[in-house]
């Protein structure tokens, strides 16, 4: 029951109650929530209060409104351990998803602007940019910087749809030993936003990663822009991963 005497607003109380019902399976994924009039009668509150509560759950990604059909519980998004050393394609495959990739422009040596996180800052690096999609929907953009001396000739290889970690291992005989990563939520630049198809001012997860190889520390640096509205991007701690 809702408590009118509580300092917590009624719409937040209802949102928490509905969240618990969803979490406990009372309303399963794909299930339809009671209508706004029904919830208003059941809890003896006004429909605007119900609308505030359901809007809060929409913002949390728990439910979705379908025009003409009602409000439904969203299915749990797929989880991808994309931050392992196993490589992006391998990470999606192990998560039960098929990721298709598309290169954006040609791989070429370019000057790198000032960036305190990028080991190639104010130097030159081979730059590769690609967007990854599940089905027809883009979910990930990668911008990778390679040491031009260690990876000489990379730009002449056929990289469309290729596993880059496999190319690095099989063509350059290098296998990553470990990585340094940092995470932040950002509003991406227009070119990233347009490639991912996100709304203006919509935030994405940005991961900065430096890869270390024996005798070649920080030879690869990458920026990953991840759409968390489509997938859950996770990181497994302490688990051994494959480099394939």
pLDDT in tens, 149-188: 999 999 999 998 888 888 999 999 999 998 898 999 999 9
Q: What is the CATH number of domain 79-233?
A: 3.40.1410.10
Average pLDDT of the segment spanning 48-67: 90
What pLDDT digit, counting tens, does each position of 86-130 carry? 567 667 766 677 888 999 999 999 999 999 999 999 999 999 999
Neighbours of 60 (CB within 10 A): 11
State the pLDDT at residue 241: 42
Please report, in angstroms and rounded to a whole number, the separation of the first and last CA atoms in the chain. Answer: 53
Strand partners, 127: 108, 145
pLDDT at 141 exceeding the cut of 50: yes
Q: Kindly report the CATH number that applies to the domain delimited by 10-73.
A: 1.10.10.10
CA dist., res. 236 & res. 81, Å (int): 7
Strands (E), 28-123: 63-66, 70-73, 79-80, 99-103, 108-111
Q: What percent of the chain has pLDDT over 90?
A: 55
Q: What CA–CA distance (Å, rounded) separates 49 from 62?
A: 18
pLDDT number for residue 239: 42
Is the distance from CB of 121 to CB of 115 less than 8 angstroms? yes
Higher per-residue pLDDT: 78 or 179? 179
Task: Enumerate the CATH 3.40.1410.10 domain ranges in the chain, comma separated.
Answer: 79-233
Average pLDDT estimate for 70-90: 70
């Amino acid at each position: 029951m809702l408590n009118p005497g509580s300092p917590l607003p009624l719409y937040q109380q209802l949102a928490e109650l509905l969240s618990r019902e969803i979490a406990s399976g009372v309303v399963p994924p794909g299930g339809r929530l009671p209508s706004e009039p029904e919830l208003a009668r059941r809890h003896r509150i006004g429909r605007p209060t119900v609308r505030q509560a359901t809007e809060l759950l929409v913002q949390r990604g728990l439910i979705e409104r379908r025009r003409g059909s009602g409000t439904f519980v969203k299915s749990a998004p797929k989880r991808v351990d994309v931050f392992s050393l196993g490589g992006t394609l391998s990470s999606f495959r192990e998560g039960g998803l098929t990721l298709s990739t598309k290169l954006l422009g040609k791989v070429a040596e370019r000057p790198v602007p000032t960036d305190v996180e990028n080991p190639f800052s104010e130097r030159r690096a081979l730059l590769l940019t690609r967007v990854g999609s599940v089905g027809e929907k883009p979910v990930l953009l990668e911008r990778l910087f390679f040491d031009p001396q260690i990876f000489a000739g990379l730009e002449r290889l056929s990289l469309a749809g290729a596993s880059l970690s496999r190319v690095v291992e099989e063509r350059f005989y290098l296998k990553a030993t470990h990585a340094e990563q940092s995470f932040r939520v950002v509003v991406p630049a227009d070119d990233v936003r347009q490639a991912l198809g996100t709304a203006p001012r919509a935030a994405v997860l940005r991961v900065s990663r430096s890869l270390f190889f024996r005798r070649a520390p920080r030879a690869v640096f990458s920026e990953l822009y991840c759409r968390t509205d489509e997938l859950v991007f996770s990181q497994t701690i302490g688990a051994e991963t494959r480099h394939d």
